[in-house]
Amino acid sequence: MTRAQRGDEEAFASLAVAVGDRLHAVAHRILRDIDLAEDATQQALLAIWQDLPQLRDPARFDAWSYRLLVRACYAEGRKSRQWSPNMRLLPSDEPMQADGSDSIVDRDQLERGFRRLSIDHRAVVVLHHYLDWPLDRIAETLGVPAGTVRSRLHHAMRGLRAALDADARPPAREVAQ
């Protein structure tokens, strides 16, 4: 890392190979779009290259790189909002599986529910439930108080739960009968 900090492109290439996969995996889970995720990862890696000389403590590289990635996701997310259709949650006829296991419908509903969340909320969900990070680490990475992270996670999970429950409700016509 020290060599990369001093402008060694070969050293940075090794670093990019080492971190590229996990950054991309997180970007995709936040943005839910393969093209946007690739763009965000590319922007994050370039930002890492640019700002690496200013990172004083290599032990904090991980948190720092994810912060840059989330910033890149914000930027890509803003772009996507300019053209993405306004999505609305619709009830489906396929019921939730009786054993509670996640069905295709769950995933579809989660996808819709997740896309309605802001990038702030998505990032917290992904860092906590995908990377298994504790809330204080997420707070440090995102540069926000731990209480804010807790609140975002609560709000996001409530939204996702509502999305799943909306699917579990019987269609309106069944109720009428």
Partner 1 sequence: MSSDRDTTRIVRSWLLDGPTELPDRVLDAVLDQLPSTHQGRATWWPARRLSHMNTPMRFALGAVAIVIAVVLGINLLGSNIGGPSPTPTPAPSGASEEPVVRAWIDAVNERDQEAATAVMSDRVVVSDTTLEREEAARTILETWCPMDVLSVQRVGDSYIVEAAFVEDDLGTCTAGVPGTTGMFVVEVVDGKVSRLP
Tokens of 147: 């209480």
Pick between residue 75 and residue 168 the one whose CB is nearest to partner 1.
168
Give the footprint of partner 1 on residues 12-51 (CB under 8 A).
Answer: 12-13, 16-17, 20-25, 28-29, 34, 37-38, 41-42, 45-46, 49-51
Which string of x and - marks every residue 92-131 that binds partner 1 (by CB under 8 A)?
Answer: --------x-x---xx--x--------------xx--xx-
Q: How many of the other CB atoms lie within 10 Å of CB of 7? A: 11
From residue 38, give the alpha-carbon distance in Å to each of 17, 22, 27, 30, 141.
14, 12, 8, 12, 21
* Minimum gap (Å) between residue 3 Cβ and partner 1: 12
Sign of the CA dihedral with 134 first, then 121, 127, and 58 last: negative
Pick between residue 53 and residue 81 the one whose CB is nearest to partner 1.
53
CA distance 73 to 70: 5
CA distance 91 to 76: 29
- Answer yes or no whether residue 89 interacts with partner 1 by CB under 8 A: no
Which string of x and - marks every residue 46-85 that binds partner 1 (by CB under 8 A)?
Answer: x--xxxxxxxxx--x--xx--x------------------
CA distance 126 to 136: 14
Contact call for residues 11 and 4 (beta carbons, < 8 A): yes
Size of site (CB under 8 A) for partner 1: 54
Q: How many of the other CB atoms lie within 10 Å of CB of 71? A: 18
Q: Which residues bind partner 1 (CB under 8 A)?
A: 2, 5, 7, 9, 12-13, 16-17, 20-25, 28-29, 34, 37-38, 41-42, 45-46, 49-57, 60, 63-64, 67, 100, 102, 106-107, 110, 125-126, 129-130, 140-141, 143, 157, 160-161, 164-165, 168
